[in-house]
Amino acid sequence: MAVPTHNHSSRPKPALLGMDFDALKEFVREAGFPAFRARQLHHWLYIRGATEFAEMHNLARDFRDWLAENCTIGHATVGEVKVSTDGSKKLIYRLADGKVVESVLIRERNWFTLCVSSQVGCAVDCKFCMTGFGGFQRQMTTAEIVSQVLLAQRVAGKDDSPRNLVFMGMGEPLLNLENLIPALRLLADPDAIGIAGRRITVSTSGILPGIEKLGEANTGVSLAISLNASNNEYRNRIMPINKRYPIENLLDACRAFPLKQRRRITFEYVMLGGENDTLDNARELAVLLRGMPCKINLIPWNPDSHLPFKRPPEDRVLRFQQYLLSQGFTASVRYSKGLDVDGACGQLAAHWREKEKATGK
């Protein structure tokens, strides 16, 4: 068998972010340093969010030098923070290879929710979404996923640190399970980043095998489904992925998803003016979701001039909501925050906008 040879100097240095405590212990042990260094390192990485080895002042000099020589922390860099008039903040991150992703600190009543990305771009091709329009570039690593959260915590400061986390930024999280699951474990671990599982929501366009695997991984996170349609015919049109995983199968997977006590699945329903916003649609939706422990989030579509949809008038949105309420559902209208900084749902497409700018299209 051919043994691959590595040129030592050109091999990329491993990133520490993404390693859990056991992995750090092993890493430190292999390098010949005492085991308690792993505990210190873990603290600096996940509790303090250190971005430089120089910050880790209680590490012995020789250990710090060895780390700087042999690995990286693995943080992205925050390129720009755009502050919306509603108090939300869009963070633009540059990754090590120059790719760009975004997350949004969304101001809620008296706390912040952080909306994070899981892929650079997205391959799912939903017709109403700018991330989909821009296409897929690559998976985000575990380090990059958690880096968004740790850096946003720093930008926000202690008082405004995000309380909830939603994977509703760029990308389809369940098509990146390999990096997502370890990230979720670090995020939810009370000894690491420590955002309780019930405060973390993974949103999916309905990747069935992914929903099953996420359930099996037992991370304790909540699930949101981007349903966006009340029947297969229309869903096939706006979300071609529905041809592979149609609504009935998707709802079966939701019923089988291991929910913690009293928790409910969130169904997102992007409202497209004149397309899926009629009372008939509301009736169909009610029939589909009858008996499901769920809440419904109605999201009036956020416009982009590249896409051929309309935002529905307010009264149609409210009429739709009223019907669902009258049928005993929990249904709220989510007016997206951060619209003025292109930070609203479906508007995160920095990777593509940069390209557009560069080619002068």
Region from 59-67, 253-261, 274-282, 294-302 binding ligand SAH, contact rule CB under 6 A: 294-302
Which residues, 6+ apart, have CB-to-CB distance to 183 below 8 Å?
A: 18, 142, 145, 146
Structure tokens at 163: 């309380």
N-terminal to C-terminal alpha carbon distance within the chain: 50
Would you count residue 276 as binding ligand SAH (CB under 6 A)? no
Name the DSSP letter for residue 49.
-
Strand duo 294-300 + 330-333: pairing:
parallel
**Closer residue to ligand SF4 (CB): 49 or 134:** 134
Which of 102, 144, 268, 275 is catalytic? The answer is 102
Q: Least distance (Å) from ligand SAH to the CB of residue 122? A: 6
Cβ(338)–Cβ(344) below 8 Å: yes
Q: How far apart are CA 343 and CA 321, in angstroms?
A: 24
Counting residues that bind ligand SAH (by CB under 6 A) gives: 17
Residue nearest to ligand SF4 (CB): 132
User: Which of the residues 115, 129, 254, 345 is marked catalytic?
Assistant: 345
Number of helices followed by number of strands (H, E) in the chain = 12, 12
Residues 205-224 that bind ligand SAH (CB under 6 A): 205
102 is catalytic: yes
User: By rule CB under 6 A, what string of x and - marks binding of each residue 49-88 to ligand SAH?
Assistant: ----------------------------------------
If the CB atoms of residues 15 and 106 are measured against ligand SAH, the closer one turns out to be 106
Of 34, 24, 39, residue with least CA distance to 63: 34
d(CA 47, CA 40): 10
Angle at 295 between CA 293 and CA 301, to 5 degrees: 145
Please choose, from the candidates 300, 310, 304, 311, the residue with its C-alpha nearest in 3D space to the C-alpha of residue 342: 304
Cβ nearer to ligand SAH, comparing 43 with 138? 138
Q: Exactly one of 113, 153, 179, 204 binds ligand SAH (CB under 6 A); which one?
A: 204
Nearer to ligand SAH, 164 or 302 (CB): 302
Decide whether 38 or 100 has the Cβ nearer to ligand SF4.
100
Q: Which active-site residues does the annotation give?
A: 102, 345
Chain positions contacting ligand SAH, by CB under 6 A? 122, 128-129, 168, 172, 203-205, 226, 228, 268, 270, 299, 301-302, 345-346
